[in-house]
Structure 1
Amino acid sequence: MATAAVSYQVRVQDLHAHLFQVTLTIAQPSTLQRVSLPAWIPGSYLVREFSRNLQRLQARQGTRVIAATQIDKCSWQVPCSADKPLVLSYEIYAFDNSVRTAWLDSARGFFNGTSLFLQVEGQEASVHELALVADKALPRWQVATGLTPRKTTRDGFGTYLAASYDELVDSPVEMGEFWSGSFVAAGIPHRFVVAGAPPSFDGARLLANTQAICEAEIRFWHGAKAGSRSGHRPPHKNYLFMLNAVDDGYGGLEHRNSTALICTRKDLPRLSNPALTPGSAKPTGTKPKQSDGYTTLLGLISHEYFHTWNVKRLRPAEFARYDYGGENYTQLLWFFEGFTSYYDDLLLRRGGLIDDTTYLKLLTKTINQVLQTPGRAVQTVAQASFDAWVKYYRPDENTPNATVSYYTKGALVALCLDLTLRQEGKTTLDAVMRALWLRCQGGPMLEADLSAVLAELGKRSFAREIAHWVHGTAELPVKSLLERQGIAVLEEPAQIAQRLGVRVADSAGIHIKVVLRGGAAERAGFAAGDEWLGLEVGPAKSSTSWRLTKLDDLLLYAGSATKVGALVARDKRLLKLSLTLPKAVTTWRLVARDSKLTEQWLNSP
């Protein structure tokens, strides 16, 4: 790789003030050089204004200090000579413990390039160099990043290269005293680093399970002989998982050859401790029980790794070149996030990490989330994709009534297409995904490309399905398709919150967060922000009043009554609402009825 035209140096400025020091050197600047800091990070569709964390920007050429003039919320211009390197220095405040931005304290450093690196206008396609400077006060800190090392020490500090600005900011950096392990999947080296893990953490189990996920997904995209010929070769030469284990948190963000993850510590796999586990002094040889939290973590790992193909390479045509200064709109997030959400748990099943019962439990959860969202009748999943910038990432009390998730409904669109294709006997969605990869050469994609591949492999047009399922609000044929695939769909009584049509927080009282459209609570006049204090049960002259502290107590005190008086506090006023208790509200539960038909779907690529 050539000598870098643009280079950055990052050092710890002040741990306790949470400041990184960044120095940017432009070897050959323009005479009026413009630089800008991104306003958003790809994969998280919200303008976050990262420039709010930039301070003390200074510019110089040699010994001459030059004024850097801010021209908008995230851009500056510097008048300078074109024959001398231009050096910009600034500080970045880093105290957002998420996967999207940057963090620095005495235990850990982390950053995405979109939070730290000013973009040099006119030189985005040039080679970029990053120098990570070790701090002598932190002798045990290490570095992990997906960037290509140029000259680094054993602990990872030193210089790295990126072919472009896009590659630079798509390669987050983890710093600190983290746990590290590695494995090889389909000939590709993978590394996993974990910050904040407790002593009970079972790293060997996490590595083995992640290896199974990676091998299953590489086989999915490229077949058993991945790498044997062009088009069947994985797009990455190495891969890095970065996991931050915290007291309470969950999420992930995909990158071209790495991912940043966050999870709750208690959801990590644990070593057994005979001293704390009665009757387990001797090894039994049995497989440790997998917690629901750990299954969720494996699903997250599967989801982000699948994005290595589906959104980082195969991506919306609108994302062929990112505009970091503002919104980048597409109607295809239902495909890139939704289809990824369909395959994340399905590939856990095919990789042997969960059984049929667990998979159907996870699918049941997705289906019920969509069914309990009235907004599915208001917003199409294509509109949800386009509106992500103003709706999905800015939820409020009306969000479930006006919107639908392109993750969950998109996953059900994928399910419906897959089962339809399988039952018609011409092809599968797996084959469609691989054909799309080849058709688009692992690059920009249009909805028309999906339609063309569906028609080619499915031997008919799927325009009607796309129109109704993606661009319409009609109910999806999930139930009939599942039943034809050997799955029994059982309808069971819903939890009391779902029956009433509310979402609540019931710690220290019952606080109404959301009132769902068309539900009993809306008909009674409940509003978001209400505190539900109690009940009046019985005729007005002989009613009994009860204090409510948990929503589950409603049926205890209501008894056989079909109508009750709900006592609520709203803006310090006490109100009595007439609530009619609904008779029949159900949720779904999926059960395998015909194992042969079910296996043809769950176990067959």
Structure 2
Amino acid sequence: MIRYRIELPQPASHQFHITLTVPQPAEAQVLSLPVWIPGSYLVREFARHLHSLQAEQGGQPCEIVWRDKASWTVHCRGRGALTLRYQAHALDPSVRAAWLDAQRGFFNASSLCLRVHGREAEAHALQLGPLPRGWQVATAMRPAAGQGESPRRFEAADYDELLDHPFELGPFWSGGFRAQGVPHRFVVSGAPPGFDGERLLAMTQQICEAQIAFWHAETDARGRRRVKKPPFEHYVFMLHASDEGYGGLEHRASTALACGRRDLPRRALVDVEGAPGAGGPSEGLTQLLGLISHEYFHTWNVKRLKPAPYVAYDYAREQPTELLWFFEGFTSYYDDLFLVRAGLIDEASYLKGLARTINQVLATPGRQISSVAQASLDAWIKYYRPDENTVNATVSYYTKGALVALALDLTLRREGRGTLDTLMRRLWVATGCGTADPGREGALDEALLRRELAAVAGRSMDAELDAWVHGRGELPLPSLLGSVGLGWSEDAPTPAQRLGARLSESGGQLKLASVLRGGAAAAAGLAPGDELLAVDGWRLGKAEDLALYGAFHGPRRLLAARDRRLLELQLDASGPVQSSVKLSPRTDAPDEARARREAWLGGGDRPR
């Protein structure tokens, strides 16, 4: 068995100390550290944090030869056990890497555990060294046999599984519940006084119950409904609360989450954060619940049902797929939808969030340049490396993919042959994920998706996928939302929308963060980073000053600054622009449309 020992002798130094033991190594044993972590599509070069690598056999040093940025060759003598010792700097607060200080430890094995080439399919063991007084351990990795209630030794069937179980270490809050009979644990580090853990557990349980039933409910010949067990024996949520954190990363039986402390439910504010009749959770708590829902849905959609290339991960380089619009976008569609289906938010809150997603896409000129399929391929170099021109060059496969899912779902429901819910469950079965083997993974490609979608729709939907996924036109959302009795209206445009830019305000300075393709700012010759100084002689300091001093009433003289130089430009921001969309139920909607909306938001699989 490949064995790792993880020690933290001085947590305040931010250094994990790792000992790796390889029995019967190869004569020229290659080792490497992954350059990316599944679920986050960017080469992150974790090896840059590794240092002080040493190797020995039987107490004698072995030669280590650097191969490339993330791999080494150790020249061994005979088949005696090879021992490697090294350290890894850990001060990344995200969910993707590793962190260690005097208050908390966290790591993904992809940041600490060298891969032993040729031995990836063997069992791997991980042992934690002594921990500071009062520290606990949370992970979904299987404890080794023969330990008590606080295990420190764990085992994984292979290297892939080792990398799919993050660890949370520290004096965290911990609670649990059962969803459809399966134990779930929730740990929270960094929670403030007054944190209402029981409320977070209850809300999360509702999400988990609804999602397990979504994937595994079935009705027998007598019409009796039962829910089968999900493809995991237990599940762990690991949430770190900081001042302004946010993010999540899915794993096969756990998820690592980050949120702002202000977003957690608090006992002192229970009367305004979801108590009966109090109007539902706050925006921050709703965002956190949506994140929990998103990462939990990934347990099925990307961890088991996955893109064909990811059935075998290549940890040494980029591994692109065109299907992130499905795996991330469809998951983004369902995350908030499950909040309303689970009764955690009302219809008005859901429609507000849906309108926000629509507006994010409409405010992205890059949607007319890049298809959402191309954006999936480009994720490795564009989505995770945004700059001032990203908004003009590409579109988010999260938001645009969610709208593609919405368009498909409402089309299926309008035509009365099926729903997107039906499609998701068909794909689960068609890829083999629905077998009795809980570890079974299913490879999905677009050809299979198209076949199953046609089976649900009763016709080919290739034209829609060609246009919505591989094309760059607009989605027919106004008419589709109208089919469920929703009205589409627009607010008055904001100053930034009028200008065709993204603005930043600081210390009385008004600057351009981005200049949108085709907007008034671009036509005037403005560039990202420019400071807007005056309009027709009136000094500017805030975005609202643009309207106050008449910037949107015909051609105006604009004074700007770039690289300490003054620029005199002509600005004409009086033309029509894309403003923000609002969604609301139509009072004159026919009964059929209202019934269709009720089935959609309520999780009814009958399209009506």
Does TM-score exceed 0.5, indicating one fold?
yes
**The residue matched to 1:296 in structure 2 has which SS?**
helix
2:106 aligns with one of 97, 100, 110 = 110
**The residue matched to 1:589 in structure 2 has which SS?**
strand
Cα gap change, 1:172 to 1:349, in 2 (>3 Å): same
**The residue matched to 1:596 in structure 2 has which SS?**
helix
> What root-mean-square deviation, in Å, do the aligned CA atoms of Structure 1 and Structure 2 show?
2.1
2:585 aligns with one of 589, 592, 596 = 592
Which residue in the other structure is 1:332 paired with?
Answer: 323
Q: Distance in 1 between matches of 2:225 and 2:304?
A: 18
Cα gap change, 1:51 to 1:155, in 2 (>3 Å): farther
2:207 aligns with one of 191, 213, 217 = 213
Cα gap change, 1:390 to 1:285, in 2 (>3 Å): closer
Q: Is the 8 A contact 2:324 2:397 kept in 1?
A: yes
**Equivalent residue runs for 1:133-282 within 5 Å:** 133-135=129-131, 138-151=132-145, 156-223=150-217, 232-272=228-268
TM-score, with structure 2 as normaliser: 0.93
Q: Distance in 2 between matches of 1:553 and 1:349?
A: 39
**Equivalent residue runs for 1:427-466 within 5 Å:** 427-442=418-433, 443-466=442-465
1:288 positional shift: 7.4
Q: Is 2:562 the counterpart of 1:570?
A: yes
**The residue matched to 2:405 in structure 1 has which SS?**
helix
Q: Deviations over 1:377-412 (max 9, x none)?
A: 110111000110011111111111110111011001
| Aligned partner letter, 2:68 | D
Which residue in the other structure is 1:54 paired with?
Answer: 50
Q: Distance in 2 between matches of 1:321 and 1:105?
A: 34
1:565 positional shift: 2.0
Q: Is the 8 A contact 1:152 1:159 kept in 2?
A: no
Q: Is the 8 A contact 2:280 2:346 kept in 1?
A: no
| Aligned partner letter, 1:554 | L
Which residue in the other structure is 2:524 paired with?
Answer: 524
**The residue matched to 1:558 in structure 2 has which SS?**
coil
Which residue in the other structure is 1:541 paired with?
Answer: none
Q: Is the 8 A contact 1:37 1:115 kept in 2?
A: yes
Q: Distance in 1 between matches of 2:568 and 2:91?
A: 45
Which residue in the other structure is 2:438 paired with?
Answer: none
Cα gap change, 1:517 to 1:359, in 2 (>3 Å): same
Which residue in the other structure is 2:538 paired with?
Answer: 546
**The residue matched to 2:85 in structure 1 has which SS?**
strand
1:44 positional shift: 0.5
**The residue matched to 2:183 in structure 1 has which SS?**
strand
Which residue in the other structure is 1:534 paired with?
Answer: 534
Q: Is the 8 A contact 2:552 2:574 kept in 1?
A: no
Q: Is the 8 A contact 1:492 1:587 kept in 2?
A: yes
1:328 positional shift: 0.5
Structure 2: segments with no counterpart, 5+ residues:
434-441
Q: Is 2:74 the counterpart of 1:75?
A: no
Q: Distance in 2 between matches of 1:257 and 1:94?
A: 24
Which residue in the other structure is 2:303 paired with?
Answer: 312
Q: Distance in 2 between matches of 1:460 and 1:273?
A: 51
Range with greater deviation from structure 2 (559-568 or 549-558): 559-568
Range with greater deviation from structure 2 (496-505 or 257-266): 496-505
Q: Is the 8 A contact 1:152 1:158 kept in 2?
A: no
1:581 positional shift: 2.3
**The residue matched to 1:48 in structure 2 has which SS?**
coil
Which residue in the other structure is 2:466 paired with?
Answer: 467
| Aligned partner letter, 1:350 | R
**The residue matched to 1:97 in structure 2 has which SS?**
coil
**Equivalent residue runs for 1:472-491 within 5 Å:** 472-491=471-490
**The residue matched to 2:359 in structure 1 has which SS?**
helix
| Aligned partner letter, 2:467 | H
Aligned length: 584
1:235 positional shift: 1.1
1:494 positional shift: 1.9
Q: Distance in 2 between matches of 1:72 and 1:17?
A: 27
Q: Distance in 2 between matches of 1:13 and 1:288?
A: 49
**The residue matched to 1:16 in structure 2 has which SS?**
helix
| Aligned partner letter, 1:496 | P
Q: Is 2:381 the counterpart of 1:390?
A: yes
Q: Distance in 1 between matches of 2:138 and 2:119?
A: 26
Cα gap change, 1:366 to 1:286, in 2 (>3 Å): closer
Q: Deviations over 1:181-201 (max 9, x none)?
A: 100001111000111000021
1:534 positional shift: 2.1
**The residue matched to 1:412 in structure 2 has which SS?**
helix
Q: Is the 8 A contact 1:37 1:118 kept in 2?
A: yes
Which residue in the other structure is 2:494 paired with?
Answer: 495
Q: Distance in 2 between matches of 1:398 and 1:491?
A: 26
Q: Distance in 1 between matches of 2:388 and 2:294?
A: 28
1:158 positional shift: 1.3
1:547 positional shift: 1.9
Q: Distance in 2 between matches of 1:560 and 1:327?
A: 46
Q: Distance in 2 between matches of 1:265 and 1:533?
A: 37
Which residue in the other structure is 1:403 paired with?
Answer: 394
